Amino acid sequence: MSQAEVIVGVSGGVDSSVAALLLQQQGLRVAGLFMQNWADDGSGFCRAEDDRKDAVAVCGKLGIPIHFRDFSNEYMEGVFKHFLDEYAAGRTPNPDVLCNREVKFKHFLDAAMALGATQIATGHYARVVREDGRAKLARAVDTSKDQSYFLHQLGEAQLDVTRFPLGEIEKTRVREMARAAALPTAAKKDSTGICFIGERDFRAFLSNYLPMQDGEIKDPAGVTLGTHHGVYFHTLGQRGGLQLGGVRGREQAPWYVVAKDVSRNVLVVDQGHDSEWMMSQRVETEAMHWISGTAPARSLECLAQTRYRQAAQHCRIDVNDDGTVTAHFAEPQRAVTPGQSLVLYDGDLCLGGAVIAQIDAPIPPALGH
């Protein structure tokens, strides 16, 4: 077979399988590349070997070559160490954003080009659109599956050589196409979460790397309600895993994490889904990554998401001299979490994004310094 024009990142899932199928149906010369991004830790929870076998089976069914690359060292250095550092600092990182920037659209892209391809493709739900000769990132047609939030760290040069074949297709149609083509992954469940955690308990996994340390759970006024095993196992807005149960003298209503103090190992919780203690209207970020390379203006009105699967919210962005931005939201935002990403949109076009550094939610008296 002649050299592949497009190399697809085949993960062993149905999405990347159908991405490869669609490109082949377009008459392109296609090959697959399976990335191993996590060294097996012996826990049995990472399904990389099963995924590898499925990727081989899919490429065999399609009659396309498959290549293999081990990026586990690159993943450890570029993604996982940062993941641990962020949790240790009391923030909640998003490893999928870093994995896309540091592995899939850097090391995978380089490997594909070294193999002679002129383009790469993945099974992400997003679109590359071209306006005025420039490659731009846009939401997928199936907005319920849109993954542009996780791709906001890409630049025009990467987008220019990237295809997202599923960007124009509804997820239900993807399953139908996989069944019609008798792909081995047609009925395979979508993977959720992060490979290195797998199906195991998140806190148990994290405790292998960060020390468990019991501390107090307090209400906003400072009344002690119970104990926890480490603030970095909890994130703002979290409801489950607090093990508070019924608290004497309090109504029977769920408790939510509204604040935490890593230095004192104190967790603050409150009742009410929209507690005032976790509502923010102003968000400060780290340096903003603009997909186009530059900010469109020093101040602009746009849409923004502070987490995946959130409806886009209206805000005003002020670009600061150091490249950070300040976002002023039209309405208070619930549980905006430092370490997560603020991602900006102009309609369906993704403008870029940055890590959330600070929020203006009120500080509960329990944490008054």
Distance between CA atoms of residues 230 and 211, nearest Å = 8
Range of the domain at 95: 6-180
Cβ–Cβ < 8 Å for 288, 352: yes
Q: Which of 134, 164, 180 is the last residue of a domain?
A: 180
**Residue 30 and residue 146 in one domain:** yes
- Residue 358: exposed, middle, or buried by beta-carbon count in 10 A (0-12, 13-18, 19+)? middle
**Residue 146 and residue 41 in one domain:** yes
Residue 353: CATH number of its domain: 2.40.30.10
Q: Which of 135, 163, 180 is the last residue of a domain?
A: 180
Residue 199 forms part of a structural domain:
no
**Residue 169 and residue 224 in one domain:** no
Annotated catalytic residue within 46, 195, 302, 315: 195
Q: Measured on CA atoms in the order 105, 337, 358, 86, is the torsion positive or negative?
A: negative
Cβ–Cβ < 8 Å for 364, 268: yes
pLDDT recorded at residue 206: 86
Average confidence (pLDDT) per 10 residues, the chain, 369 residues: 84 95 97 89 69 95 96 93 92 92 95 97 97 95 96 97 97 95 91 69 84 90 90 88 73 89 92 94 98 96 95 97 97 96 98 97 87
Distance between CA atoms of residues 305 and 303, nearest Å = 7
Task: Tell me the two tokens of residue 323.
Answer: 């490249």
Distance between CA atoms of residues 274 and 152, nearest Å = 28
**Residue 148 and residue 297 in one domain:** no
How far, in Å, are 12, 196, 206, 320 from residue 201 at the CA level? Answer: 23, 11, 9, 40
If we measure between CA atoms, which residue out of 326, 355, 361 comes closest to residue 340? 355
Cβ–Cβ < 8 Å for 120, 108: yes
**Residue 52 and residue 151 in one domain:** yes
Task: Tell me the two tokens of residue 211.
Answer: 């020390």
- Residue 64: exposed, middle, or buried by beta-carbon count in 10 A (0-12, 13-18, 19+)? buried
**How many other β-carbons are positioned within 10 Å of the β-carbon of residue 76?**
15
Coil, helix or strand at residue 277: helix
Burial 175-187 (b: 16+ CB within 10 A, else e): bebbeebebbbbe
Residue 217 forms part of a structural domain:
yes
Distance between CA atoms of residues 152 and 164, nearest Å = 14
**Residue 368 and residue 222 in one domain:** yes
Active site (annotated) includes residue 195: yes
Residue that has been written with the tokens 């540091």 in this structure: 102
Residue 84 forms part of a structural domain:
yes
Residue 105: CATH number of its domain: 3.40.50.620
What residues form DSSP beta bridges with 301?
Answer: 316
In the 8-state DSSP scheme, what is residue 168? Answer: G
Q: What number of CA atoms fall less than 13 Å from residue 204's CA on the CB side?
A: 7
pLDDT recorded at residue 40: 66
How far, in Å, are 119, 136, 293, 304 from residue 157 at the CA level? Answer: 11, 10, 10, 24
pLDDT recorded at residue 1: 42
Domain count, the chain: 2
